[in-house]
Structure 1
Amino acid sequence: MNRYSKLTTLLVVGCLLLATVGLAGAVTVTSEDVPDEAEVESEMSATVEIDDLYDDYDEWAVDGETELNNVTWTITYYDGDTQIDEHQIDGQEIRQDGIDRSLDEEPRQIEVSLTGEVPEVEQYSYEPRQEFTAMNLTQVRSDDGATEDIGSWSTHHYTANSSEARTAIDDASAAIDEARDSGADVDRAESDLQNAIDFYNDGNFESAISNAEQAQSEAEDAQSSAEQRDLLLYGGVGLVGLLLVAGLGFLLYKRQQGDDYDKLG
């Protein structure tokens, strides 16, 4: 192995070691309770529990961000089942320190909770569905400000009207899939479905619902026509088969009659 090959090998090994150290240094999210969806202007709560606090930094703070409105954070420190401390902070962006291995009562786990009001939807989107940041947590080292991402959680937010429109579109999409699988022509239904999705994305839920219902109706009609067509086709094939069998039977009967006549003669 020449000098350049040895250097390349050392660089590769060094990168692998650095990657391994980086993976081992992250804190562990042991529990998360974040709603998958929530209605606009309703109150929502979320909780995340974190362990392995000192695998990376001996002293650090937790940064929190959320798009909830009128939000209150609660940061609770534990050592096993024993609560050591608790802090409450208002605001969409917070920083809480006190995670320090040198403390007499060093926290071993922390629980980050928040409660706030679900924000308005700025831009509706059927797929992917519109979401907001419910909670974003970052680990910040105290001495130099170095950071590590802990995790980010999003929640789908909706209004009563947008939820009704989404359900109508979902129902229409399912009807179209079923009709397509039966061999029906669903081009018109798919066109109306796309219009419904476009209206949804524009926030025009009344038109979205109307077009989705039209798409579902057209898909169901197309499926019914396809099934009737298949029934007629199968019935026609069956009738032809029956006629063939009857004709064959008649020929055999006539042949048998002729044989009997010859024998009598």
Structure 2
Amino acid sequence: MMNSIPCSKRSIVFVLLAVAVVGAVGTAAAVTVSEDSVPEEVTVETGTSVTVTLDDLYTDAPSEWTLRAETNLTGDRTWQISKRKFGGAGIANESGSGSSIETAVSQGDDDESVTLTISGTMPNRTEYSYDPQQNLSAITLYRVTDSGETKIDTINVPYYTENSKQARKQINQAKTAIDEAGSVSDSARTDYQSAIEFYNSGQFASAIREANSAQEAAQQAEQSQQTTQLLIYGGVGILMLALIGGGVWYWRNQQDDYDKLR
């Protein structure tokens, strides 16, 4: 006869397994990450650097663990690490190079916070996206313990070329024109969507052309609406003047008739 595990015991086993799995491949941590210096965007094939600071190192975490940082920047990648001690007892500095770095974090060594800087080159990319804007993972942080690793955070930096930046600017202007016009032709919206599709495929000259077409159509629609409004206002004004003039004429005629009767 096969042995069976009572339901309550099976539940306990399942919970323990679930906890073990979460501990091994966790994706959240209580560590606080502050973006001290992160560029808004970077031109491809140019140098850049990113600096972050990690606080609350031991919240929901062991008193000793390993911080691993990875980067997708290229070129001569250099890392600088500064560990601030509790009570202002000093700062311990480390450095390294390459696509990743590891450093020990220890409450016993009075490590209160860790500031990390990566310097490297934004690589030339072929993937582009208008919304959300394309970006590169400059730093990905992990907490590593005996039970596994937990992803702490990823710092992304948008990248661009001069052509992609010009195309994005033109698409933004087209969107503004469409929003301000309110009611535009289907062709204007089609051109706008085509501009985004061309941008996403890296065809920036075509994106600029379609965005220009959408913007011009939207501006023409807005001008037409303004002209129509002016004509309406003008017509209302003429009607009001006619009514006022007619009223004055009627009043004067009434006065003349009254004078004749006297």
Alignment TM class, shorter chain as reference: 0.7 to 0.9
Q: Report the AA paired with residue 162 of structure 1.
A: S
Q: Which moved more, 1:161-170 or 1:211-220?
A: 211-220
Equivalent in the alignment of 1:235 = 234
Q: Report the AA paired with residue 208 of structure 2.
A: I
Equivalent in the alignment of 1:189 = 188
In the TM superposition, what whole-angstrom CA distance separates every residue of 1:174-200 from its partner, at most 9, and x where no partner exists? Answer: 1111111xxx43433222111111111
SS in 2 for 1:218: helix
Percent identical across equivalent pairs? 36
Q: Report the AA paired with residue 120 of structure 1.
A: N
Equivalent in the alignment of 2:166 = 164
Mapped to 1, the partners of 2:215 and 2:89 lie a distance apart of 57
Equivalent in the alignment of 1:174 = 176
For structure 1, the 5+ residue unaligned runs are 1-6, 12-17
Q: Report the AA paired with residue 153 of structure 1.
A: I
Size of the aligned set, in residue pairs, is 236
Equivalent in the alignment of 2:117 = 113
Equivalent in the alignment of 2:22 = none
The question of whether the paired residues in 2 share the 8 Å contact of 1:63 and 1:137 is answered with yes
Equivalent in the alignment of 1:4 = none
SS in 2 for 1:108: strand
Mapped to 1, the partners of 2:251 and 2:198 lie a distance apart of 68
Equivalent in the alignment of 2:131 = 127
Equivalent in the alignment of 2:16 = none
Q: Report the AA paired with residue 73 of structure 2.
A: L
In the TM superposition, what whole-angstrom CA distance separates every residue of 1:161-220 from its partner, at most 9, and x where no partner exists? Answer: 00000001111111111111xxx4343322211111111111111111111112112211
Return the match for 1:94 from 88, 98, 101: 101
Q: Report the AA paired with residue 186 of structure 2.
A: D
Query: In structure 2, do the counterparts of structure 1 residues 31 and 125 end up closer, same or farther at CA, with 3 Å as the change threshold?
Result: closer
Q: Which moved more, 1:26-35 or 1:158-167?
A: 26-35
Q: What TM-score, normalized to structure 1? A: 0.81
1:34 Cα deviation from its structure 2 partner: 1.7
Mapped to 2, the partners of 1:84 and 1:244 lie a distance apart of 86
1:83 Cα deviation from its structure 2 partner: 4.5
Equivalent in the alignment of 1:52 = 56
